[in-house]
Amino acid sequence: MHVILELTSRTVDLVDAALGRYTAQVWQGSTDDGVPVLAVIPVLVPMIPADDPAQVKFENERESAGGIPRPEVAAFAREIVL
């Protein structure tokens, strides 16, 4: 399965007994068959050396991204207890 995701402007708080409370970004997208999906991602790290110029580009794009979420994504819970 392949999934293509797009960062939305939406975030949620995740609450974990061991880790406490932390914020995760909400992503929306679809599978290669067109099935709509939602992903809650607390950490996204590029797998390249820290001094690679692509690091700066990655961070800039991530910080400036944040499209309008679909209605079902916007309606997703603001807090998730794990």
Instruction: Please check the confidence at residue 82 and state whether its pLDDT lies above 70.
Output: no
Closest CA to 24 of 43, 50, 3, 8: 43
Average pLDDT, stretch 50-78?
83
Closest CA to 25 of 56, 82, 69, 81: 69
Per-residue pLDDT, 68: 77
Average pLDDT, stretch 48-60?
91
CB-based burial label for 5 (10 Å; 0-12, 13-18, 19+):
middle
Domain that holds residue 39: 3-81
The structure's pTM equals: 0.78
Q: How many domains does the chain have?
A: 1
- The mean predicted confidence, pLDDT, of the chain is 88
Per-residue pLDDT band for 70 (boundaries 50, 70, 90) equals: confident
